[in-house]
Amino acid sequence: MRIAVTGSSGLIGSRLVPALVEDGHDVLRLVRRTPRTADEHRWDPQHQRIDPALLADVDAVVNLAGTGVGDKRWSEKRKQEILRSRVDATTTVATALAAAAADDPGRPRVLLSASAVGWYGDTGDRVVRENAPAGTDFLAHVCEQWETATAPAEQAGIRVVRLRTGLVLGRGGLLGRLAPLFKLGLGGRLGSGGQYWPWISLTDEVDAIRFLLTAPVSGPVNLTGPAPVTNAEFTRALGTVLRRPTLLPVPGFALRTALGEFAPVGVLAGQRAVPAALETAGFTWTHPDVTSALRAALGRD
């Protein structure tokens, strides 16, 4: 397949691209800066500009572009950056794919477009599958608009999969922030610890995307491990893998002071999201439990 990838330098994209190449696919990396290698091609999602020829002969687009949600303290400007970066990128590739389909209607195409389990908002201990409604907080609002931006491709008859990814466990990302503290013995549950963290190993995230390129699946798909855990269970598992105590809980008020508006939405809230669509489609996890996922991520296999 000829596959275009956005967000190829991120945690997921940087593992996905070499995996796709190893699978024998021809990969185009869409970048916003001046291209440095033959597989890189420039686009401008902020202004929704892309050379139509770039996607004319692609079979699939994996859209992972978006500004980091927890990288900086939220201000109104930052929140708009988070929203616009996702909506603009998705609108750009969905519209370009729709145009390509109009010019060559006989070519089957697929758009795998990133979203997040934040779609559901804070769901407490209620199990949520892909048919659950959107939440009402800021991240749910972002996810709703993010997913809606795939509409041009869907209306053009292109198979669209909306990847509602959970907490990806790999070197960097969430673990890049938590592991150094835990190694110093400074780890513990965050807030009450009762909020569910729907994790997935980086290996399974990449493998699920590869699987969905050809699996007869469309619509929202929860990219999570089969057994979501509470924050307290997660921190205990991380402490066990690192052989460190987890005796220093961080109270909710301290998180709200340090992280501002992001804390109640991105840290103290949770989703008990389960991967019903992946399970139905027959996907097999390499890391079906959080301990094996953490061991793989931290090189403790």
175: Cα within 13 Å, side-chain hemisphere? 25
Q: What is the CA radius of gyration of the chain?
A: 19
Structure tokens at 284: 């097999």
**Tell me, what's the pLDDT at 176?**
86
The reported pTM is: 0.95
- The model's pLDDT over 194-237, given as tens digits with 9 standing for 90+, comes to 999 999 999 999 999 999 999 999 999 999 999 999 999 999 99
The pLDDT of residue 121: 96
Domains and CATH numbers, the chain: 2-297 (3.40.50.720)
Question: How far is CA 76 from each of CA 18, 24, 47, 62, 207, rounded to the nearest angstrom?
Answer: 36, 43, 20, 29, 36
Residue 55: Cβ within 10 Å count: 25
pLDDT tens per residue across span 49-107: 999 889 999 999 999 999 999 888 899 999 999 999 999 999 999 999 999 999 998 89
Average pLDDT of every residue of the chain: 95
